[in-house]
Amino acid sequence: MLFSKYKNKDRQQFMIKKLTPCYILLMLLLTSCGSYKDIPYFQDLAHDKVTEEDVANYTPLTIKTADILAVNVSSKNPESTAIFNYNLNRVNGTNFDTSRENPVTGYLVNEKGFITLPLLGAVKAAGITTDSLASTINRLLIKFYKDPMVNIRIINLKVSIFGDVAKPNAYTLQNERTTITQALSLAGDLNITGMRKNVILIREKDGKRKYIPIDLTSKNIFKSEYYYLQNNDEIYVQPDRTKYATVDRGYRTATLLLSGLSIIAIVLSNLYR
């Protein structure tokens, strides 16, 4: 009996030694590794002094077809200019449908680049800025009103952000001067597994679609002609291999754990026979 006891103890120690590499391998498989050097933004920016440079890459946003414009006209006689501020150009449906799904939303820029205004008729809008269009409409209204004031805003201004970010979505923008870094902030920033050097900006312009690579690890992004966004831009953040490993590991973990438990069960069964 005593001999059998020592024999079982030796067998246990032997099996523990055999199983230890299996546990180590299991932990290695369940542990991912990444490189910190690819994580920080603007790595070539000096952090020990103030850096100053001119902003020379901003181009004012221009109106395009399918944009929806909020036109607000005011004058010394507000009642007379109210017709401009309650228009009937809807995105969907007819002028008679006033349901919640089809609200009065603004002046739609048609395929020819025009909007249609009360009193003025068709006015060219596409290809110019909102400030330029406001000035044009203001000049046209002088013959109808004394000291008119015109404000215009693009109200369907949006960007779509998807891929490896915290909150992928289509985001409505309130500011015509929105940057790519501001847009990514709306989406909760890149996840730690998002590839900073592999951000793709997708832009349609003049009947062509461009796929523009963006490197967020360099401060040169601030000088890029693509730093300021256009309406309907799309931003894609590619996940790195760690992201795939994390997802793939979720599927493999259950199998590995079940296999490990099965091995342990078999070993214990043999030890205590």
Hey, what are 122's tokens?
């068709």
Cβ–Cβ under 8 Å, residues 200 and 233 = no
Q: What is the CATH number of the domain that holds 229?
A: 3.10.560.10
Q: Which of 112, 139, 154 is the last residue of a domain?
A: 154
What is the structure's pLDDT at 269?
Answer: 62
Q: How far apart are CA 124 and CA 151, in angstroms?
A: 16
CA 250 to chain centre: 26
Q: What is the mean pLDDT of each run of 10 residues along the chain (273 residues)?
A: 51 55 51 68 88 90 93 88 68 45 73 94 96 96 91 93 96 93 96 93 92 95 95 95 60 60 62 58
Q: Residue 259's domain spans which residues?
A: 2-34+242-271
Residue 52 lies in a domain: yes
Q: Which of 154, 181, 212 is the last residue of a domain?
A: 154
**Whether 108 and 138 share a structural domain:** yes
**Whether 222 and 248 share a structural domain:** no
DSSP-derived 3-state class of residue 108: strand
What is the structure's pLDDT at 6?
Answer: 46
The count of domains in the chain is: 3
**Whether 118 and 176 share a structural domain:** no
Residue 63 lies in a domain: no
Residue 77 lies in a domain: yes
Q: What is the CATH number of the domain that holds 86?
A: 3.30.1950.10
Residue 174 lies in a domain: yes
**Whether 246 and 200 share a structural domain:** no
Region label for 206, one of left (φ > 0), alpha (ψ between -120 and 50) or beta (otherwise): left
**Whether 196 and 260 share a structural domain:** no
**Whether 142 and 182 share a structural domain:** no
Cβ atoms within 10 Å, residue 148: 21
Residue 264 lies in a domain: yes
Q: Which of 102, 126, 154 is the last residue of a domain?
A: 154
Q: Taking Cα atoms as reference points, which of 146, 6, 172, 7 lies closest to residue 73?
A: 146
Task: Report pTM.
Answer: 0.70
**Whether 73 and 149 share a structural domain:** yes
What is the structure's pLDDT at 88?
Answer: 44
**Which residues, other chains included, contact 234 with Cβ-Cβ below 8 Å and sequence gap of 6+?**
159, 160, 161, 162, 201, 202, 203
